[in-house]
Amino acid sequence: MKHGFLKVACATPKIKVADCTYNVNEIIDIAARANEKKVKVLVFPELCITAYTCGDLFFSNVILDSAMKALKKYIEATRDYDMLSIVGLPMFYESKIYNCAAVVKGGELLGVVAKSNLPTYGEFYEGRYFVPCPEENLTFNYEGKKIPFGRNILFACSNMPLLRVGVEICEDIWVTTPPSNMLSNAGATLLANLSASNEVVAKDEYRRILVSSQSAKTVSAYIYANCGEGESTTDVVYSGHSIIAENGTIVSERIPFDYSNDKFIVADVDLEKISLERRRRNTVTTNADKNIVTVPFDFNIEKTDITRKIDAHPFVSNDKKALQKNIKSVRSIQAYGLKQRMEASGARKCVIGVSGGLDSALALLAVVDTFKIMGKSEKDIIAVTMPCFATTNRTRNNAQALAKALGVDFREIDIKDAVSAHLKSIGHDENVHNVVYENAQARERTQILMDIANGENALVIGTGDLSELALGFTTFNGDHISMYAVNSGIPKTLIPHILEQYAREYEDCGNLELGKTLRDIVDTPISPELIPAADGKIAQITEEIIGPYEIHDFYIFNMLSYQYSPEKLLRLAEIAFEGKYDDEMLKNCLKVFIKRFFSQQFKRSSLPDGPKVFGVGFSPRGDLKMPSDVCSDEWLRYLENN
């Protein structure tokens, strides 16, 4: 449970209708196996002790008494488990029968939640047997203790404050205002739903949407446990379709009629992520209902063995169709963002520095897309390559080939003499290859682009990407500056995939040479090319200086999205990159990331405009409000001391 991770499960026991003794033994067996896997919260289906499909047998004292005896047996059997269990059964209380969820922990019945919304339509007729949960919480006597009974109950972990459990039952989630809305507003971070949802064609997809959207809306982890084998099939069939979702994302699922697994599905939900998202979103209501009863319990705090997949490339979908769809969205955001800026500014042309690298290639292609949408000629796009001391033939040739294949106005301006004259004028030895030497080249290029733009009524298009902005790997008042930065929301790890898609599209249209050029650009080592080449080869490899961009993009996404601590970032990275990078490499990269991210904020404080693409952004006008002189020491100490 360290770092907010909690192992949860939802079970689908194979039952017999109206056989409480058989059913509870099945449930106890599942609980024992879940306990072995160190599950902390286990949710069973609706009325699982009796079966949901008992019909008029729910009126029988035999069923009602047997159900309570079975519950007692379950409570005793799980006494030594460090696990919160939620079990469904009918309960007779003050002359009425209720459809209930019993919450059990450490040999005690903590509370009972009754179903609020009873479906009595179509194939459902719960109103025949049960009454809705009373508006106000009540209590009933169980084994000499007063037990909370109702729907306004939260089960709060005393020594893990992030865990507050709310319970609702099946139909409760299908109504306009589910009880989970109120429970979430009162602070529930984990919601459990005991369900008996029968299967009809396409209902599984609707169920996925329902559960994931409720999880997103309530900013919670949502455990939906559905019944399956053994329920009566007289008129309907139950499939055991169960879902665990976390803030809108399904993290584990038993697909309908899949009974091949261990009768329960497991997921590691991240309560810290949920808490941080609630903290960030000021529209999430946290007003506790005065009628809420909070029932405390505690866990033995231990380090959860994380089994969930930690995505090493959070900006790049593993699903090919999803990736293509995302890339299409990225390109549209770039193109329509620039279109609006051109129309608003009255600019006729665009000027862009083309280096033969990834970023400038993507920016140029985005401008071409924009001009196609606007019906403008590619000749109004001015692509300028500016070779200097470190430019290699490979990048120079690729810049030229790319521009010519796209049919833009291509210009080559050699800046060696201009930079040499500048270095001489400030008394800098040209043989000293320090930051002055490097940045003089970058700033000369920006000056040229700005001057051309002034003469052509054009916008200078920025090429820097999200990853470079995070690390401050830009030259202040050099490539840091533009009139519209079309790449500013795009991470480095996604750009090769976008260029690959462009390459395929152009090749499909018969432009094989352009496809070939784009693929070579993708294969070229990432470099600012500001230090003279060695034997014609790139001497300055960015990822050898700051570490692999895929690691940094992982840290960017997880730190900026969820404000994870350095210790948690490192733990997740060790899982995500296991077998590829050793722990020392990941830790060193994290130190580099933290130091550069904080120390380079002054560059992001004066960023040019550019469109947000993902949930992470650095605009000082929108996403990132951080002082330029912030200190990183506390983050570095946290990494070393935890």
Of residues 10, 157, 170, 350, which has the active-site annotation?
Answer: 170
Distance in angstroms (rounded) separating the CA atoms of residues 248 and 213: 6
Q: How far is CA 464 from CA 231, 470, 471, in A?
A: 59, 11, 11
Of residues 7, 10, 26, 46, which has the active-site annotation?
Answer: 46
Q: Token digits for 394?
A: 């490979």
231 is catalytic: no
Give 440's contacts (C-beta < 8 A, 6+ positions apart).
Answer: 419, 422, 423, 428
Distance in angstroms (rounded) separating the CA atoms of residues 2 and 241: 30
115 is catalytic: yes
Distance in angstroms (rounded) separating the CA atoms of residues 341 and 339: 5
- Sheet order of strands, 221-226 included: 249-254, 242-246, 221-226, 190-195, 164-169, 153-157, 293-297
Of residues 7, 40, 105, 115, which has the active-site annotation?
Answer: 115
CA dihedral 446, 447, 449, 455 (to 10 degrees): 160
Distance in angstroms (rounded) separating the CA atoms of residues 452 and 458: 8
Q: Say which DSSP state 64 is in.
A: H
Q: Where do the DSSP E strands lie in 57-122? A: 84-93, 96-105, 108-114
List, in sequence order, every residue forming a beta bridge with 617; answer none if it has no partner: none
Region of 627 (left: φ > 0; alpha: ψ -120 to 50; beta: rest) is: beta
Distance in angstroms (rounded) separating the CA atoms of residues 569 and 587: 9
SS3 172: helix
> By C-alpha distance, which of 69, 123, 134 is closest to 95?
134
550 is catalytic: no
Place of tokens 């009972």: 112
Task: Report which residue type is found at 221.
Answer: A
In our burial notation (b when 16+ CB lie closer than 10 A, e otherwise), range 371-405 reads beeeebeeebbbbbbbbbbbbbebbbebbbbbbeb
Beta strand pairing call for 249-254 and 264-270: unpaired
Tally DSSP H helices, then E strands, for the chain.
Answer: 19, 20
SS3 434: coil
Q: Token digits for 205?
A: 């997809």
Task: Report which residue type is found at 533.
Answer: A
Contact 367, 350 (CB under 8 A): yes
Element housing 367 (H / E): helix 358-374
Q: How far is CA 254 from CA 46, 107, 185, 208, in A?
A: 16, 29, 29, 11
- Sheet order of strands, 381-385 included: 409-412, 381-385, 349-353, 458-462, 484-485
DSSP secondary structure of 280-339: H-TTS-----TT-EEEEE----------S---S-TTS-SSHHHHHHHHHHHHHHHHHHHH
Which residues form the catalytic set?
A: 46, 115, 170
